Structure 1
Amino acid sequence: MIRAVKSKPFNYIFALYNHYYLLRRRFRSFTLTGSLDPQVDIRDNSPIEPTRPVIYFMNHSSWWDGLLLYHAARQTSRGDHYVMMEEQQLQQYAFFRKLGAYSINKESASGIRTSLQYTSELLDSGKRVWIFPQGEILHQEARPIRFRPGIGLLLRRSPNAIAVPVTLCHGMVQHDRPEISMQAGPPVLEDWKALKSEEIAARLGHVLEQQLDDHRSALVRMGQGSLPDALPLIRHVRSTSEKYDAARKRVNR
């Protein structure tokens, strides 16, 4: 297993590169609805301690997902974030270790156990971990959403952890560049040890599927690439048509 080796100087440089070169050159907008820092237990409206460990579980529908969540966490969260990544990919892009990525080898039972143990150690020390429980990149319209049992094993090992559903919707609506909408849903808190791993995986898979369906439906109703009152995570980039319209106005003055 490949462990994360975070580097503050490298994080600082890469965050600028990711923001201004990668994301702003590829996307018209990237917005966030909801908070990546869970604050209230919706079961009884009691406050959530900011030091509690968090597992973010997200749909995995594009190559960009890791860079998008990295940017969102850097921009909006106070927590110390880590990301589980396929071992073959991390071997190829080893610099992601410096950003908080660590590996899992899904082809090895011992490798899976080692990665789950490492994840538990991160959570038990108050870290925040992002995982893609579908286990592979799938189209955002693929249904049903089925999770592998690893997320259940993690929550049973770290029963104090909070599970936060995060959905990503991307598409091209009225402009020539894709727009990305991220939504962080209400935190899920349960007596994880009282549930089997498969039950947890099934339950959280249903939670994410419902949130993703609602997220997509809201965007479709609006005919836009972002939700109302969403927080912009990159500065709005004008599309080709907007640049053309602006040029025409200048010429016609």
Structure 2
Amino acid sequence: MIEANKKAWFETVFTIYNRQLLKRYFKDIYLQFDQPLPSQAIFTINHSSWWDALVLFHLNRHVLKHDLFVMMHEKGLKDYPFFGKLGAYSVNRLSLKDIVKALNYSGTLLKEGKSVGLFPQGDEFHLEKRPLSFLPGTIALMEKNQDIPLIPVAFYYSFGHTKKQEIYINVGEPIYYHSLNGSSRKERNSSFELLFTKQLDSLKQIVVNEQIDSFQAIL
């Protein structure tokens, strides 16, 4: 696996560039989020677009403000190595040994007081694909860090009434390991996937029905 090589100066410069890039392609990013945020968390995000990592970076810099490190596919980090300077580290899902290394590295980051971001689907899938088919790595990480909450973050991309598309984000309530149904990793993963699916589908209905008064623009 490839460890992160986070650089504060690069994050500062990239923040400006990234905001301008997002403004060029999107009308705005709309956020629904009103509960207190824990100081440390495992953030999980659905993965349907190349933009997801850049949107997550913007969300963290301007709203979440965590010392966030994000696991991404090894090929993606090799293709876009600048993500490493933003806190990305890699996993090769074709190698069990590499998966174990990536999860252990994630645990080390958590023990250092940092937050971790995961895309539990593993790869990009169409936004409307169901089931979400979450991989069990998130639950495996929670097993060894049961005092750290999981924060589900749902992204929904939509074309509205303008030329540019919009992004809607819902930051869910913290989920703790023992609050997930089931006694096995597989059962808890299914419980987590069900909760996230309900959150994402609820966000979809809010956007489709244009019930967005509770959202704030963050771009």
Which of 166, 169, 174 does residue 161 from structure 2 map onto? 174
State the Cα distance separating 1:61 from its structure 2 match. Answer: 0.7
Name which of 113, 124, 143 aligns with 1:156: 143
Q: For 2:74 and 2:7, locate their aligned partners in 1 and report how far apart those are by CA, in whole Å.
A: 20
The whole-number CA distance in structure 1 between the counterparts of 2:102 and 2:9 is 26
1:119 Cα deviation after fit: 0.3
Task: Give 1:128 deviation, angstroms.
Answer: 1.0
User: What residue is the counterpart of 2:26 in the other structure?
Assistant: 27
Q: Which residue of 2 aligns with 1:4?
A: 4
Larger radius of gyration: 1
SS in 2 for 1:165: strand
Cα separation, 1, equivalents of 2:188 and 2:143: 9
Determine if contact 2:146/2:176 at 8 Å carries over to the other structure: no
- Partners of 2:195 and 2:124 in 1: CA distance: 19
Q: For structure 1, which runs of at least 5 residues remain unmatched after alignment?
A: 40-49, 235-253
Aligned to 1:143: 130
Give the % identical residues: 34
1:132 corresponding residue in structure 2: 119
Q: Number of residues paired by the alignment?
A: 218
Measured in 2, the distance between the counterparts of 1:100 and 1:125 equals 14
Q: Name stretches of at least 5 consecutive residues in structure 2 with no aligned partner.
A: none
In structure 1, C-alpha distance between the alignment counterparts of 2:15 and 2:183, rounded to whole Å:
39
Change over 3 Å in CA distance of 1:35–1:15 after alignment to 2: farther
Any residues of structure 2 matched to 1:37-186 within 5 Å, and which? Answer: 38-39=37-38, 50=39, 53-186=40-173
Are 1:170 and 1:178, in contact at CA under 8 Å, matched by a contact in 2?
yes
- Structure 1 Cα separation of the partners of residues 118 and 132 of structure 2: 14
Identify the residue that residue 196 of structure 2 maps to in structure 1. 208
Normalising by the residue count of structure 2, what TM-score does the alignment of the two structures yield?
A: 0.94
Q: Which residue of 2 aligns with 1:231?
A: 216
Give the CA deviation at 1:99. 0.3
Q: Which amino acid aligns with 2:127?
A: Q
Root mean square deviation of aligned Cα: 1.8
Question: Cα distance 1:81–1:195, how it changes in 2: closer, same or farther (>3 A)?
Answer: farther
Between the aligned partners of 2:2 and 2:187, the Cα distance in structure 1 is: 29
Partner SS state of residue 130, structure 2: coil
CA–CA distance in 2 between the matches of 1:69 and 1:125?
21
CA contact (8 A) 1:155 1:192 kept: no
